[in-house]
Amino acid sequence: MDVLTFGESMVVFSPNINGPLRHVHSFSKSLGGAESNVATALAKLNHSAGWFSKVSDDEFGRFVISSIKAEGVDTSRVIIDKERPTGLLFKERYQRSNPNVYYYRKNSAASSLSPEDIDEEYIKQAKILHITGITPALSESCRRAVYRAIEIAKENKILVSFDPNIRLKLWTVDEARKILVDIASKADIVMPGLDEAELLLGLTNKDDVADFFLNKEAKIVAVKLGSEGCYIKDKKEGVKVAGYNVSDLIQDTAGAGDGFAAGFLAGYLEKLSLNEIGQYANGVGAMATLVQGDMEGYPYYDQLMEFIGKRQGVER
């Protein structure tokens, strides 16, 4: 398996019209979850991916599993929780791209994940273990599960990939900073946004951010620069890769960062050049925004090739 990841996926309810939810009469159901997004996007790019979590023993839990399995992700180790519900997320939209969210995820099945749920044999099958900063924010036991998974990966020479995904609805900045910097410092691959890096490290220069992690355990760092693309640096070189200009076509930015991570890992696994890795990452991230829904916009390999071939722009 190329990439293994775990974390909470939720049932997402999106309003059929804009405006305050009070006046919305009809909602559409879809799926959301940073880690399953990454796994899905990787599977669509022909990389084997696995995802696990805990879900409820009801139709919402089954919806989560079947939606992710449908995309070709291995879900064989998902745990069914007989007691706790699957988390929910409601969107409220005033403008097209940046919805408010209402969480119903407290005490959810996924938030009860704990070190005991981490299956060493499963992790050992992966080349890369991908972690996001959402999971340690969910609960104390989730935090310990993350550390346990990283420990297993480290012991088995499996690469650890990390995307901070700071969610200030889930914890305070201080808590987030303390834990996320610690985790990121153990990771082989780190993919912070420049704004996230400032919040975590107080650094505003992309090279400083990359160097911070390269001086820890990172082999490679991707600093996300929003619509400007990204800056990728490893021990040898640093490359700025321009983003794809889709500003007039954006439907929904949710899932873009996860797409970036998946594109990055796909390129990295394919041993491409830093510039090509950046194009993959920027391309998947941009394509995610063209479609309503978190994961519906992720491209198949051919679609990605066409997209980055047609519109790409590189600068150094």
Q: Which of residues 148-207 bind a second copy (CB under 8 A)?
A: none
User: Is the Cβ of residue 110 or residue 118 nearer to a second copy in the bound state?
Assistant: 110
Q: Is 216 in the site for a second copy (CB under 8 A)?
A: no
Q: Is 60 in the site for a second copy (CB under 8 A)?
A: yes
Catalytic residue among 81, 252, 258, 294: 258
Task: Report the candidate in 86, 108, 110 with the shortest Cα–Cα distance to residue 13.
Answer: 86
CA–CA separation, 85 vs 171, rounded Å?
21
Site stretch for a second copy (CB under 8 A), options 91-99, 136-144, 165-173, 180-188: 91-99
Name, in order, each residue with C-beta under 8 angstroms of 173's C-beta and a sequence gap of 6 or more: 199
Structure tokens, 258: 């996860």
The dihedral through the CA atoms of 210, 213, 218, 221 has a sign that is negative
Name, in order, each residue with C-beta under 8 angstroms of 39's C-beta and a sequence gap of 6 or more: 3, 5, 49, 50, 51, 68, 71, 73, 262
Q: Which residues pair with 129 in a beta bridge?
A: 4, 160
| Catalytic annotation present for 58 | no
Q: Is 297 in the site for a second copy (CB under 8 A)?
A: yes
* Binding residues for a second copy, total number by CB under 8 A: 44
Q: Is 101 in the site for a second copy (CB under 8 A)?
A: no
User: CB of 59: closest distance to a second copy in angstroms?
Assistant: 4
User: CB of 85: closest distance to a second copy in angstroms?
Assistant: 6
What's the distance, Cα to Cα, between the start and end of the chain in Å? 33
Given the rule CB under 8 A, which residues bind a second copy? Answer: 13, 16-30, 58-60, 62-63, 66-67, 69-72, 85, 88, 92, 94-95, 102, 104, 106-107, 249, 251, 290-293, 296-297
